[in-house]
Structure 1
Amino acid sequence: MYSSLVKLNPNWLSHPGQSLYDVLEEKRMSPDSLAEKIKVDLNEIQEILKGQKDITDSVATKLENELGIPQKFWLSRQRQYKEFKQVFLKNQEKAWLDSLPIKDMIKFGWLSGVKSELTDQCLDFFNLKQVPQSLDSSANFAQGGVRFRTSTKYEAHIGSTNVWIRQGERCAEKIECNEWNLELLCDKLESMRALCNVKKPNEYIPKLKEICAECGIILVVIRPTSGCRASGATKFLPSGKALILMSFRHKSDDHFWFTFFHEIGHLIYHNSQQRTFVDEDSNWQENLNLEEQEANKFSGDLLIPYSILPELSKMKRDKRTIVRMALKLGVSPGILIGQMQHHNIIDFSYLNGYKRRYSNEEIPFDC
């Protein structure tokens, strides 16, 4: 019989308990019955079946006497499993590390760069005790039901996105803010929007953080790692406070503000869903889920009211007219141009030179 078990289990990463389970199934014998016949504690048998406990010499001998399968089969099975498990875990560790933007993490000072300590540092970074079994399980931030505006992109860069998200969470742990207050947030929307006209990020970001903190929102700006396509993310923390994470990936005022208010939209409309929203592109897209449509609509309407779109469609598309209209609406010309592009009033290649662009040195990134 044991030769057939070898053929049925060519993948030695399946633990010896699986072979024992197959034998019991074939013999129609329960774990309780086996434990009683070979005089081994039932808990030990159950742990062996789950792969949580090794098959010892003593148990292997008892299995041979009762099941007719040689002791050497069980011991060889156990030895091979241990050997291949070590190789498997090493490969799993390498795959996990390869999925992370290690060079950027070292460059940004998130890791020390000591090669021999790399795995332990990454585990500490994610607050994990062991290497995750799947690449998407390493970000504590991303637990609890994640919704992505462009999930296929996220899957393609999952390690980089998880690192960016986790660093944002790490920074948020050091920041204090008031309790979450939805009513106050709604009252503060105009104060937030008024900052759209401030030219420099190192001037409007601190003020925006102060307003957010009043409302129970921690705003964190983290530089994106290589491969990370996220523009913004938001979730509610275990404390009940909210976290908004921004990357400034496109380094333009229109993209920043649309993404910021998109995240605010999630907090206002979806604050009871206990989900993490990761948004990778500010453009209007087809086939978006309802939550993303609602957040897009909220952000777009707050920046440029939908009621004025007919007027925008008819006005001249020259710089002077657009600047005059932007002043009237209380936003920067770049934001107006960006929204006109999103609504297909002007082409995406038109007037981009009038958007405010920033260098990394001009952006106040956190930690």
Structure 2
Amino acid sequence: MPNTETMTMWAPDWATHPGEHLAEFLEARGLSQADFARLADMTPKHVSTIIGGESPVTADTAIRLERVTGMKDYIWTRLQAAWDLHRARQREQATSAKAADWCRKFPIKDLVARGALASPGRDVAGQLSGLLGFLGIGSPTAFPALARGLAVHHRQSQSHATSDEHVVSWLLLGERKARQMDVAPFSREVFLAAVQEIRSLTVKRPSEFEPRMKQLCRDAGVALIFEKPIAKARLFGSARWLDDGRAVIQMSLRMKSNDHFWWTFFHEAAHIVLHQGRTFVDDQGGEGDGAEEQADTWAADVLVGLKRFKSFRATRPRSAAEVTQFADEIGVHPGIVVGMLQHDRVVAHSHLNGLKERFEWADEVE
């Protein structure tokens, strides 16, 4: 028989509780648990819980076991230590696997690329810690509450799957930028005036209108953020308020034509004007609720003047010349008028697209 006192450096990935060895001893000697309890001066319940793997073999218990079984006390404590390590490794592996699964729900590569997270490599614990810090929560179980508070979906996609983890990540990327901006206290009156000037910028190129519209928004107390899209956050824009009272309009630049870009901005601006203190996240292809209908109406009226646009729409315009003349009269880019006519099914989506301006900037804007 091998010497039971011989210890080697072999570290198997399994272990047995010392209670199993005690059970084997009782079986070999033909002793009942009650008999052994009397011999060892232990309670039957204590012997039973050791054999069942529920109670550990402490140093005091090991001394008693040595006296009855003849197996050295340190062998019993080593068996217990090996079992404890084995269980600790199992718990760590389970925790790491669970943490890794949770982290995989987030756009880690995007967050690393945008400087929100350090590259984690294979360090699951480091990745988890960094992600929790970025989210501003103490543990993964707090994420649902964060998501409910941040991403209130009033317009949610019906045709594309969105991920709360990706939506929240995108929003927080924008929030990081917004908190670093020097923004004036919010003024509804100043913002309304800014919106009117921004409307006049719709005929300009991005290199001209982008810096000016951002400055106008800052002066009115609104942080305008252009944040590149994330795959499973199929968002065009959001409007919300931070805890310091500043408003944030965040645009993904997923839109590639100027009509969609400008509609998104004015729609989010409407939420800032009409729905102070609330959060709105607009998904691709989403369906609106009452607040969304209000924002749509406000945006349309500011952009084209609803009464005037309805009169023009009633003429059933078909030519580029007609659309261009109307757009010049009201002072907006003709692509915006085309987009609204297409939305109202007056013009086919394949018609008059040459009047729109295409934007290829989603991967360039930081």
CA spacing shift, 1:245–1:216, aligned 2, 3 Å: same
Q: Is this contact kept in 2: 1:326–1:336, CA < 8 A?
A: yes
Work out which of the residue numbers 114, 117, 130 in structure 2 matches 1:121: 130
Structure 1: 5+ residue stretches without partners: 1-60
How far is 1:362 from its partner? 8.4
How far is 1:229 from its partner? 0.6
Deviations 1:138-164 (A, max 9, x none): 55xx62672330166786322222221
Residue 223 of structure 2 is matched in structure 1 by 218
- Residues 296-315 of structure 1 mapped to structure 2, 5 A cutoff: 296-308=296-308, 309-315=310-316
CA spacing shift, 1:144–1:109, aligned 2, 3 Å: closer
CA spacing shift, 1:327–1:129, aligned 2, 3 Å: same
Structure 2: 5+ residue stretches without partners: 1-41, 57-83
RMSD over equivalenced CA pairs, Å = 3.2
* Higher Cα radius of gyration: 2
Q: Tell me, yes or no, if structure 1 residue 265 matches structure 2 residue 270.
A: yes
CA spacing shift, 1:190–1:72, aligned 2, 3 Å: farther
Q: Is this contact kept in 2: 1:147–1:277, CA < 8 A?
A: yes
Question: 2:330 corresponds to which letter in structure 1?
Answer: L
Per the alignment, in what secondary structure is the counterpart of residue 224 of structure 2? strand
Q: Tell me, yes or no, if structure 1 residue 185 matches structure 2 residue 191.
A: yes
Q: Is this contact kept in 2: 1:160–1:227, CA < 8 A?
A: yes
Work out which of the residue numbers 178, 182, 195 in structure 2 matches 1:176: 182
Q: Is this contact kept in 2: 1:147–1:275, CA < 8 A?
A: no
Per the alignment, in what secondary structure is the counterpart of residue 156 of structure 1? coil
Residue 49 of structure 1 is matched in structure 2 by none
Q: Is this contact kept in 1: 2:156–2:282, CA < 8 A?
A: yes
Q: Is this contact kept in 1: 2:161–2:232, CA < 8 A?
A: no
Residue 76 of structure 2 is matched in structure 1 by none
Q: Is this contact kept in 2: 1:99–1:135, CA < 8 A?
A: no
Work out which of the residue numbers 90, 95, 98 in structure 2 matches 1:89: 95
CA distance in 1, matches of 2:114, 2:151: 29
Q: Is this contact kept in 2: 1:218–1:241, CA < 8 A?
A: yes
Residue 246 of structure 1 is matched in structure 2 by 251
Question: 2:360 corresponds to which letter in structure 1?
Answer: S
CA distance in 2, matches of 1:95, 1:221: 30
Q: Is this contact kept in 2: 1:221–1:248, CA < 8 A?
A: yes
CA spacing shift, 1:76–1:176, aligned 2, 3 Å: farther
CA distance in 1, matches of 2:183, 2:202: 23
Q: Is this contact kept in 2: 1:144–1:275, CA < 8 A?
A: no
| Percent of aligned pairs sharing the same letter | 27
Residue 322 of structure 1 is matched in structure 2 by 323
CA spacing shift, 1:217–1:148, aligned 2, 3 Å: same
CA distance in 2, matches of 1:144, 1:161: 9
Work out which of the residue numbers 137, 158, 161 in structure 1 matches 2:164: 158
TM-score by length of 1: 0.70
How far is 1:315 from its partner? 4.8
Deviations 1:23-66 (A, max 9, x none): xxxxxxxxxxxxxxxxxxxxxxxxxxxxxxxxxxxxxx99x79x
CA spacing shift, 1:252–1:298, aligned 2, 3 Å: same
Deviations 1:68-124 (A, max 9, x none): x958879469x8997876455334322222111223333344434241243333223
CA distance in 2, matches of 1:174, 1:124: 17
CA spacing shift, 1:97–1:317, aligned 2, 3 Å: same
How far is 1:212 from its partner? 0.9
Residue 359 of structure 2 is matched in structure 1 by 358
Q: How many residues align?
A: 293
Question: 1:162 corresponds to which letter in structure 2?
Answer: V
TM-score by length of 2: 0.70
Question: 1:319 corresponds to which letter in structure 2?
Answer: A
Q: Is this contact kept in 1: 2:236–2:254, CA < 8 A?
A: yes
